[in-house]
Amino acid sequence: MLKNESNLGYLLILAAGALWGTIGLFSTIMAREGMPAGQVAFYRTLASATMLFLVLLVKGRGLGLFKISRRGLLSCLLVGTVSQAMFNFCYMNTIALSDMATGAVFLYTSPIYVAILSRIFFKEALTANKIFAIFINIAGCIMTVTGGQFSSIRISGLALIMGIMSGFTYALLPVLSRTGADKEHPYTAAFYGQLFGAVLLLFIIRPWNTEVDFNMTLILAILGLGIVPSAMAYIAYYGGLSRMKETSKVPVLASVETVVAALIGLIAFGQGLGIAKCLGILLVLISIIVMNMRSKQSTFLNKD
C-alpha cells in the first residue's frame, strides 16, 4: 500500500511538471498581446486563486475545504510569499537584466539547493546516484532550454544576485511546503499559496500603472495560464508531495517540465530541437530514472 502511494506521488509530481511545461505557451501569447512579464506573473496567480476558490466551493459543498490549520496557513503564507511572489520577481528581473537563457541557467540550479536543504532539515541521505542524477539533470535542463547556445549569456552584478535568488526561492517550494502545506488537502494548499502570492504581487507589480488591452485572446490566455500550469499543476504537486518521503527527488521529477516546454515550442511555435536540445531532453529523462533507482552504495553523508 505504501509503495503504491509512493508511486502515485511520483506520477503526480511528473504530472505537475508536465503541466508547468505549458507555461511558455500561454505566457508567449500574453506577451504577444502586449502584456508585460510582471503582469503575466500577477494574473497567473490571480486567475489560479480564483479558479481554485470556485473548485473549493464546489468540491467542499460550501466552506468545508477552506478550513486550514494554523501551521498549514503559515506554510502556505511562506510558499506564497517566497516561492510565488519573490521567485517571480527575481526570475523576471534576471531575464530583464540579462536574457531568457541566463535566467534558465540559474533557475535549473535549484535541485542542488533542494538536496542541501533536505539534508539539513529533513536528514535525507545524499547517495551517489542522487548526486549523479542532480548534476545530469541540471546539465540536461540547461541544454534543453539554451539549445547549447551559451554565447548569448551575459551577466551583471545585479543580474547575478537576482539569478541566484531566483534559483534559491524556486528551490524553497518543496522545502517550505513540508512545513505544513503538504498535510492539508491539495486543493486547500494550492488555493492559499496562490492567494498569498497574488496579494503580494499586486503590490509589487502594481498592474493599475500599466494599460493593457484585454481582448478575447488575452483573456483566454490568462484563463488557460491560471488553470493548466497553475491550479491543476499545484493540485497535482501537493497531492504528490504528501505521498513522497524524499523532498530532494521532487525537483528532478518536476524537471520533465523542460521536455514538455521544448515539445510545445516545436509544435506550437515551430522552434527547432536540434542535437543539443535532444541531448538535453535525453539527459533529463535519464536523470529521472537514475534518481529513482535504488542505490546499493553507502551514502556520502549518513543520516546519523
3-state secondary structure the chain: CHHHHHHHHHHHHHHHHHHHCCHHHHHHHHHHCCCCHHHHHHHHHHHHHHHHHHHHHHHCCCCHHHCCCHHHHHHHHHHHHHHHHHHHHHHHHHHHHCCHHHHHHHHCCHHHHHHHHHHHHHCCCCCHHHHHHHHHHHHHHHHHHHCCCCCCCCCCHHHHHHHHHHHHHHHHHHHHHCCCHHHCCHHHHHHHHHHHHHHHHHHHHCHHHCCCCCCHHHHHHHHHHHHHHHHHHHHHHHHHHCCCCCHHHHHHHHCHHHHHHHHHHHHHHCCCCHHHHHHHHHHHHHHHHHHCCCCCCCCCCCCC
Confidence check: pLDDT of 108 > 70 = yes
Question: By mean pLDDT, which of 168-172, 229-233, 298-302 is the weakest?
Answer: 298-302
Question: By mean pLDDT, which of 179-193, 205-219, 287-301 is the weakest?
Answer: 287-301
pLDDT (0 to 100) of residue 224 = 96
Confidence check: pLDDT of 288 > 90 = yes
Confidence check: pLDDT of 218 > 90 = yes
Confidence check: pLDDT of 297 > 70 = no
Confidence check: pLDDT of 303 > 50 = no
Kindly state whether residue 192 falls inside one of the protein's structural domains. yes
- Give how many domains the chain has, as a whole number: 1
Mean pLDDT computed over 249-257: 93
Confidence check: pLDDT of 54 > 60 = yes
- Of the pLDDT bands very low, low, confident and very high (cuts 50, 70, 90), residue 77 is very high
- Of the pLDDT bands very low, low, confident and very high (cuts 50, 70, 90), residue 299 is low
Task: Pick from 112-126, 136-150, 285-299 the range whose average pLDDT is largest.
Answer: 112-126
How far, in Å, CA of 156 to CA of 58, rounded?
A: 49
Kindly state whether residue 230 falls inside one of the protein's structural domains. yes
- Of the pLDDT bands very low, low, confident and very high (cuts 50, 70, 90), residue 70 is very high
Mean pLDDT computed over 47-52: 96
Mean pLDDT computed over 192-214: 93
Kindly state whether residue 278 falls inside one of the protein's structural domains. no
Confidence check: pLDDT of 94 > 60 = yes
Domain span including residue 23: 2-126+153-253
Kindly state whether residue 297 falls inside one of the protein's structural domains. no
Kindly state whether residue 55 falls inside one of the protein's structural domains. yes
Confidence check: pLDDT of 62 > 90 = no
How far, in Å, CA of 267 to CA of 261, rounded?
A: 10
Kindly state whether residue 258 falls inside one of the protein's structural domains. no
Kindly state whether residue 146 falls inside one of the protein's structural domains. no
Of 258, 286, 263, 261, which Cα lies nearest the Cα of 141? Answer: 258
Kindly state whether residue 138 falls inside one of the protein's structural domains. no
Query: How many whole angstroms from its chain centre is CA 289?
Result: 20
